Structure 1
């Protein structure tokens, strides 16, 4: 017996005389109980000449070929039974069967095998429908479903062009005139007309909804911000919702005190405020429209919520070591501050010393409490010519983060202390800050005023302490409601076997009542307390997250976290996504149980979030005027923002998203294939530390090695940390088979000599000094870079003879210039003067420090004639 598809009676019986189509046949069991017999199923052999027939009971012993008839067929009919043979199985687990041999096989139609002339056969199971072509290849299931046919419906005539209210109304009236000809009323108050117009309205709404769904299905036609956001996320384009503004706030205090930053926020000034006190309570603002002022809150971590305020830090003077008419030059990264001796509150047991071993007199201590990580704001408070506060340049204000604080004393200039009989050395504090916070302008400390007084004006600029970082946005609390439950009843498993009734969470898509929701780029604890002050005011809107500080469900007590999307969330992650609509209101979308966890039915959600976003927070300097305490107010504190707020960005317009999103993924490098790709990735991801990068492929004999050479900004020596960071970053982008090696550029020292003829009325010494300064590697007093400054020279930038002459001619007093030597240091002449240029390869950078202590870094010699 071969392996054939089987035909069960309950699957393939198609008798036109039967009136019912049933799934579960109980008659089969009754036939067995009454010791009757009948056909159960059959199998067809591969050659279609044998039928293997199985019975409900035992095989009939007296059955012959005359008891079997094969009926049916469309093209092939009159199939005759040639022979039958009983096959008894010795294994009790196997069914015995009857082998029926036919003279020919049938077509693709349905045939009937019928038993005739046998006693004890139930008429209901005396026949069996089957097909000879059961083994033919087919993509369909051989089991036919028992389907009770439903009532045949007559489709009405529908005008599919009717899509608006008027068309629907007329269509319904025309239909009613056909089926209800006696109804003739067309008056508006008529109930029938009311129902017609109601149905027309519903049809118009559904038609609009269908059109809206079709419109939102494509990026080019979508009009809803949420739809566009989802479309472009599929091509890795993170559409941004803008971000809030940040600024620094200086807290001027009359007493030394401590405050909790979680307990305060700041507001801008406005005319309708009934109180003039800079310190307010929440009750003072209860009856005032919040739209009349902007709110700024401190950016703080939980562990650093308390801040100490010192009265002495309100105004800190610079110390110029007794010199006058001084200024801090542009690009400065260090300064000296004037400290003060005060009586010590503790009685020392021995002579104390400061952190730098500077001696400290007994019973005295320093007044300044500066430490690394503090923020200072340098502010010009007087006019450099008049000494008036109104003449101070508001643009001469700059915030820096201290990276080192060193205490010291000046023994030359001594000061009197009230409780000490002798003069004491002047206490000072040496401070430094990062290069990223270098002064962007010269800061005047003291100067001579206008004539005729010509008085010395001191303390033109001062340093402000007690500075904190704040950003735009007001905290509000809202209850988002309860997750509804819907009942699901599964289909019955069988007769008297009801299914379980389960309650699952319904769709929960809450929206926030207040707008606009605040977005900001997250700050780590390290960034907040160590990053340069300048970088903290800069944000990338595409990395900004919604400021929903707490989203809690009470059942169970879970806290949920906002994400840019749920594509990387699993079924256990309590994540949600914020989607902002066209009106600026935020909607919360939770997971579906696979991508993000689904909220539990019955959970009551509450949210604490911030509102205030975009350019509304870009306030000007000196705009913040009030500090608001949520609980216990502390008097004597006045807030100021010496610097304007910056960084507030509006949400990305939909027109720009549709324009840039389809092609952005093609422009952004995700894999380095060519050598230039490696250099482009370095410039893209290290633009703040690398001036230029170059790369080349080199064959090692077994594989390719990519040599990446970088030129750091302002760096003249190897920076191993930067090189290691670039190498690690490039590893994720490298092509398989490429080894990546990152090195600093090859610096080529130069040897240049120049003969200059000076005009008769100018001193040769003055002209030489000006030329040496112009061809130096330093920042010039006017803010320009010297000719050989490291940031002016980069890969492959040769030194042109004409440019050297033209630069020298700009110095006043120079009459003629001749370059007598232009070549690489310690190398022979390669015809550079004849060619008019000293060429460099793509991996080389010119260098000329003209430092007599390190002559190997380049030499520049001048020979001056004429003048006086």
Structure 2
């Protein structure tokens, strides 16, 4: 009999019987010429002595290529312990093939017939890459498949198919009346088959990116090729708060755009009851992204001119001096203090100021102020100073603050600080431009539900399972969680990129302009999810774009938006992200809104939503600059177009020199990079030259940041060296003929400006501005002549000398170009103090 059993209780019963014996197991020696055979107890008497030659008690059967293997000797090993089994070493004349052989006992008395033979293989110790565990041989017989028409795909074909099958199975049934229960069952099954057929077609459609129609399917397909289908992002804005008192402002405090309701006229603060009574489509809601403290002294901050008049902050400025104040005036009979102690302004690095022109510099009227002359800057350095020359009314030094902001926030245009007013008064106008403090970063969206949290139900139980440790001892009962993919009741859900962390220690503060901009593909859903279980506390879950990097214990989840903008929540499976446990209840708070609806104009945000709070009559809420950054969800057609090619464009490793260059230029603050692989004698070194944006000097912090950013992409075996770009100083001589009515000095001054390194009025850069030239950009004679000819007052111009500084000419004028290498950048500062940075010599003839 051939059987397959998982438990063998008979073996132990035979072992306990003193009058029965049998084969237990055997081991094949390494040379495959001997077997160690173990018995269920002591050896039988016939095999308890050493035998050399033919052994009639043992026989080897089986084999396909190698057969007839003979036993040539046996040698018993008797264990002196009566409780331990003996074994018999069986010597063979040769070894077998890879088939299964059987060792049989013949003529041995008192052997249990169930254990008179052992199946074995000579090749048990041969190396293999397969699992040694054998598959169970108990295989169920396959059912006989009926001959069906698999082309049936709709209701009618399914109905006919079932009737044809029933005609074979039940030929006696002939009732085809519609009211018959048999026909009702046939039509019901045909309907279910039609529904399942449609579902199969839909699944097949969603299985490919080109044919998928559901947003969730396209999102998952695109992620497989490293393309992120984005759901848009919300808009952000700077809100300025003017207040007569100091008060704290919590994160999440709501700001509302102008309300077309008489009850809100003239009110800076409104309550929830008033807002709830208004149509939601009539206003937009913004919420503070971080807590803040509102100071009355920051409502309007004036600039300090150091006693100078008709001043302005020039375009490109990154610093200014603000007028501060001592906090308390001295008593009438007390001498004034010389200053010191706490001041009125409490600005610190990281704070944002909005520079705003408040009166027209030509008229002195507030109505003539240019609303376009507003700019936000984020402070990176605040230094208290005193003006010892200009004293206040008490004879104390004037307190001031020197503030600086990053080059990314450099002024895009000039700001007039003071001016001479119009005739006939010709009054001196001060405070033309002021700085607004109390600037709060807000983003579009409304947190809902307003009270408590939205319940998302309980994770269902799909059933329980238990395992048996052994007979009569059950194991632990496990409750399996059923399908749980809740949806949010309201929408559309807000997506927003988290604010990056600043590094105050390293002096790296994100610019004000950058805090309004978002990478839409890094935006995450604004949802706060928690789960609770009876007798246990709450657990907070974190949203992620996907769960590919999540571990089995990470409480992460994914939000997927369908075609109707309904948010579906998806959890992990216990390997990629933690799986919900049956019985857990989930609650959520989230924000709705986002998209382009939040891109409101300047002065649109006018109200603060606070219940039971009053800041007096001096409170004013406004956004001096328009909100920006709100983007709609990406269309499916766009994702299908770009996703298949995205992984080829986005480099994730640096192997060639071009890879290092591309990865470096992906970082901020870099105009261009040039890279080459240099052999050091033992390995390659990637030498990366950097042309920083807006400067000719690579700061040490920027150098370290670039090296750290490239480290994860560096190829193993490559060293990395980030170096300053090699600047090539030039010597340029121009001969210009001025028009007869032009002054030669004025023409030369204009030429020096055009061929300078500064930004010209109107935003155009000078010919040798650091950002105008980059690696390998040769200087052509024709471009120099064209720039000179464009200067008003120039009749004709020619280049008489063009070469590298401190080097002889190399036919640059004859060839029409001064060539530069891939790692070289032209430099011509024309600074008399540093002639090694380039010299410009202009000779002007003609004119007057």
Q: Normalised by the shorter chain, which TM-score bucket?
A: 0.7 to 0.9
Asked if 1:309 corresponds to 2:299, the answer is: no
Task: From 198, 202, 217, give the equivalent of 2:188.
Answer: 198
Give 1:375's aligned residue.
352
Cα distance, 1:701 vs. partner? Answer: 4.1
Change (3 A) 1:759 1:142: closer
The residue correspondences of 1:155-170 to structure 2 (distance < 5 A) are 155-170=145-160
Cα distance, 1:503 vs. partner? Answer: 2.9
The residue correspondences of 1:295-374 to structure 2 (distance < 5 A) are 295-300=285-290, 305-310=291-296, 312-318=297-303, 327-337=312-322, 344=329, 352-353=337-338, 368-374=345-351
Encode CA deviations 1:460-518: one digit per residue, 9 max, x unaligned: 54432221101112222322233334543345455434444233444443333222222
Task: From 347, 354, 377, give the equivalent of 1:400.
Answer: 377
Quick check: 1:354–1:407 contact (8 Å CA) kept in 2? no
Aligned-residue Cα RMSD (Å) equals 4.8
Give 1:571's aligned residue.
552
Quick check: 2:364–2:421 contact (8 Å CA) kept in 1? yes
Change (3 A) 1:539 1:119: closer
Cα distance, 1:538 vs. partner? Answer: 1.1
The residue correspondences of 1:261-272 to structure 2 (distance < 5 A) are 261-262=250-251, 264-271=253-260
The residue correspondences of 1:205-604 to structure 2 (distance < 5 A) are 205-253=195-243, 255-262=244-251, 264-271=253-260, 275-276=264-265, 277-300=267-290, 305-310=291-296, 312-318=297-303, 327-337=312-322, 344=329, 352-353=337-338, 368-382=345-359, 392-402=369-379, 403-404=381-382, 406-409=384-387, 430-445=402-417, 461-476=433-448, 477-492=453-468, 495-526=471-502, 530-549=509-528, 551-554=530-533, 555-604=536-585
Q: Which structure 1 segments of 5+ residues have no match?
A: 1-12, 15-19
Encode CA deviations 1:725-777: one digit per residue, 9 max, x unaligned: 32343344334443333222222333333333332222222222222222222
Quick check: 2:454–2:587 contact (8 Å CA) kept in 1? yes
Asked if 1:757 corresponds to 2:737, the answer is: yes
Encode CA deviations 1:202-250: one digit per residue, 9 max, x unaligned: 3333333333444444444444333333344344334333222111011
Give 1:748's aligned residue.
728
Cα distance, 1:645 vs. partner? Answer: 1.3
Cα distance, 1:193 vs. partner? Answer: 4.6
Give 2:760's aligned residue.
780
Distance 1:66 1:740 in 2: 76
Moved more, 845-854 or 240-249: 845-854
Change (3 A) 1:858 1:108: closer
Distance 1:628 1:444 in 2: 35
Provide the aligned length of Structure 1 versus Structure 2. 825
Asked if 1:851 corresponds to 2:831, the answer is: yes
Asked if 1:674 corresponds to 2:659, the answer is: no
Distance 2:94 2:775 in 1: 93
Distance 1:596 1:724 in 2: 35
Give 1:738's aligned residue.
718
Distance 1:860 1:57 in 2: 108
Distance 2:581 2:330 in 1: 59
SS at match of 2:375: strand
Quick check: 1:672–1:735 contact (8 Å CA) kept in 2? yes
The residue correspondences of 1:609-624 to structure 2 (distance < 5 A) are 609-624=590-605
Change (3 A) 1:37 1:493: same
Cα distance, 1:713 vs. partner? Answer: 1.8
SS at match of 2:751: helix
Distance 1:126 1:328 in 2: 104
Quick check: 1:622–1:644 contact (8 Å CA) kept in 2? yes
Quick check: 1:408–1:430 contact (8 Å CA) kept in 2? no
SS at match of 1:791: coil
Quick check: 2:355–2:374 contact (8 Å CA) kept in 1? yes
Task: From 632, 642, 657, give the equivalent of 1:650.
Answer: 632
Quick check: 1:115–1:126 contact (8 Å CA) kept in 2? no
Distance 1:740 1:140 in 2: 45
Cα distance, 1:521 vs. partner? Answer: 1.9
Cα distance, 1:56 vs. partner? Answer: 6.2
Change (3 A) 1:215 1:345: farther
Change (3 A) 1:121 1:512: same
SS at match of 1:262: coil
Encode CA deviations 1:346-365: one digit per residue, 9 max, x unaligned: 9999854557xxxx9xxxx9
Give 1:7's aligned residue.
none
SS at match of 1:711: strand
Change (3 A) 1:348 1:607: farther
Distance 2:227 2:237 in 1: 29
Cα distance, 1:702 vs. partner? Answer: 4.2
Quick check: 1:708–1:741 contact (8 Å CA) kept in 2? yes
Encode CA deviations 1:249-302: one digit per residue, 9 max, x unaligned: 11233x2120332362112234368543331122223344444432211111xx
Task: From 683, 694, 699, give the equivalent of 2:674.
Answer: 694
Distance 1:69 1:856 in 2: 103
Moved more, 702-711 or 381-390: 381-390
Distance 2:831 2:480 in 1: 78
Cα distance, 1:691 vs. partner? Answer: 1.7
Distance 1:202 1:557 in 2: 43
Give 2:704's aligned residue.
724
Change (3 A) 1:424 1:218: same
Quick check: 1:44–1:132 contact (8 Å CA) kept in 2? no
Cα distance, 1:456 vs. partner? Answer: 8.0
Distance 1:478 1:840 in 2: 65
Moved more, 428-437 or 467-476: 428-437
Change (3 A) 1:347 1:504: farther
Change (3 A) 1:171 1:370: same
Quick check: 2:58–2:71 contact (8 Å CA) kept in 1? no
Task: From 832, 837, 840, give the equivalent of 2:817.
Answer: 837
Distance 1:635 1:583 in 2: 45
Moved more, 328-337 or 20-29: 20-29
Encode CA deviations 1:623-669: one digit per residue, 9 max, x unaligned: 22221115645454332112121112223333333333333333333
Cα distance, 1:43 vs. partner? Answer: 6.8
Change (3 A) 1:595 1:82: closer
TM-score if structure 2 supplies the norm length? Answer: 0.82
Distance 2:71 2:440 in 1: 104
Moved more, 369-378 or 383-392: 383-392
Change (3 A) 1:94 1:331: same
Change (3 A) 1:34 1:67: farther
Encode CA deviations 1:136-190: one digit per residue, 9 max, x unaligned: 999897979574967x844344332223334333433444455556766666666
Quick check: 1:281–1:633 contact (8 Å CA) kept in 2? no
Quick check: 1:79–1:103 contact (8 Å CA) kept in 2? no
Moved more, 244-253 or 380-389: 380-389
SS at match of 1:244: coil
Quick check: 1:379–1:398 contact (8 Å CA) kept in 2? yes
Cα distance, 1:536 vs. partner? Answer: 0.8
